[in-house]
Amino acid sequence: MTPRRRRRAPPDVPPGGLLDWSDASVHWSKHERPCRYCGFPTRLRDSKRKPAHKVCAESALQQQAAEAADAYQNGQL
């Protein structure tokens, strides 16, 4: 029997589950833009350089995970 390998979290997600936006060169901009989730201005950028508040991005990820879990339980995946 081969040993099981643990799945690793994506690089932006530390073990606690919160997003790590400590790298200002990636997650900060001089220009305010509307958040892609709530529409309020922000200088923060997600990992794809799109404007997003950290709290909004974490909330969206949590919602996506819940929807994926529901779809999996209902046999849709």
Does 15 reside within a domain?
A: no
Structure tokens at 13: 């997600």
Print the domain residue range for 43: 26-73
- Specify the number of domains making up the chain: 1
Does 16 reside within a domain?
A: no
Global pTM?
0.68
- Quick: pLDDT tens for 15-34: 556 788 888 888 899 999 99
Per-residue pLDDT at 56 exceeds 70: yes
Question: For 42, how many CA atoms within 13 A lie in the half-sphere containing its CB?
Answer: 21
Looking at per-residue pLDDT, the higher value among 71 and 10 belongs to 71
Which residues in the chain belong to E strands, given as ranges? 28-34, 41-44
